[in-house]
Amino acid sequence: MRLTWQKMDLSNSHPFSAAFDYASDLTGLRFQNPLWKVNYYLFGHKFRKAVSIVKSFGNEIVRLAVCRRDLENPSEKSNPQTNDDESGGDLVNMLLDAVPEHHVVADSAINFLSAGRDTTANSMTWMLHLLLEQPSLTNYITDELPPSGDFHTYASLSTALTPKSHAVFLETLRLYPPVPFELKQTLNSAGMTLPDGTVLPHESVIVWCPYAYGRSKKIWGEDAYEFNPERWIERTGDEAEKLKVRSAAEYPVFNGGARSCLGKRMAEVMGVWVLSESLREWEFEEVEKVGRRRSRNSLTLPMEGGLKVRVRKRNMPAL
């Protein structure tokens, strides 16, 4: 898969991608290794180099955006407000309009890239894998899509119109949450009190694990380990299908409250729209059928070894 931003290559072979993956893997391992400081001492230089490559990529994104603004609006060089039709909607340009410090914009660009890149890619990989394990689910999704060739709008991707595709997406994330564990620390010097009365003193670290929540029989019942999108579907009297709503306390995949994921809707669009449309047009077949896959140790639950698939246009002979 090839990803670009303003013609900047983000494919797997790009040094940014390699550095990003290395830094993510090592950060993920820190949580499981009580001796991580030893590792950091021995291999820290490689980690720091990876972080510096990631940071320079952010700086490069901003440098290019600023150059482009200067070329497009030379007269506004000193006060480059570019909320016109051409540049509107580009996140980096909007940040440049709002934030004067370029290093903050660069960090924010990397923040969005890191929050949205592997989370979405990994969720789509797991979703495709689970669908290939249960081929009947392909029609389950594609049958509810608007007719092929119809122009899709944001509204046509609502949970009301495509509840089953959303169910498959949410069910995938239940079993394979791209943020498998989370932690927060109390910074308030007086500590804080949780809604149930538990008092957390200053600097307490609290860790929770959406991966474990997703597999909890207490929350999901005896079949918690089964991939069953139907558990998300509610049928009303007239047989209309509706997506069940789950609270962030039961399903913390996108976090909850004030720090909920800002890209949830974008991730849904990718997961529901891109994958369903691809399944309508293309047939996928796993190259190596090795049963249920394992995840790799990293921050965003990537699939060990990746998912190699053979692709062919529907109703065409295999290449």
Q: Which of 23, 128, 253, 299 binds ligand HEM (CB under 6 A)?
A: 253
Site for ligand HEM in 210-249 (CB under 6 A): none
Q: Binders of ligand HEM among 276-295, rule CB under 6 A?
A: none
* Interaction between residue 120 and ligand HEM (CB under 6 A): yes
Nearest to 212 by CA among 194, 226, 230, 225: 225
Size of the site for ligand HEM (CB under 6 A): 20
To ligand HEM, the closest distance from the beta carbon of 261 in angstroms equals 3
> How many Å apart are CA 192 and CA 170, to the nearest integer?
32
Closest to 266 measured CA to CA, from 169, 183, 146, 177: 169
106 binding ligand HEM? (CB under 6 A): no
Residues written for the chain? 319
Using CB under 6 A as the binding rule, whether residue 267 contacts ligand HEM is answered as: yes
Sign, CA torsion 38/39/44/48: negative
Q: Which residue is nearest to ligand HEM (CB)?
A: 263
| Candidates 138-146, 192-200, 226-234, 259-267; binding stretch for ligand HEM (CB under 6 A) | 259-267
HEC readout, 46-115: HHHHHHHHHHHHHHHHHHHHHHHHHHHCHHHCCCCCCCCCCCCCCHHHHHHHHCCCHHHHHHHHHHHHHH
112 makes contact with ligand HEM (CB under 6 A): yes
Q: Which of 39, 255, 295, 297 binds ligand HEM (CB under 6 A)?
A: 255
Binding-site residues for heme, in ranges, read 261
Binding-site residues, in ranges, read 261
What are the residues binding ligand HEM (CB under 6 A)?
111-112, 115-116, 119-120, 123, 173, 178-179, 182, 253-255, 259, 261-263, 266-267
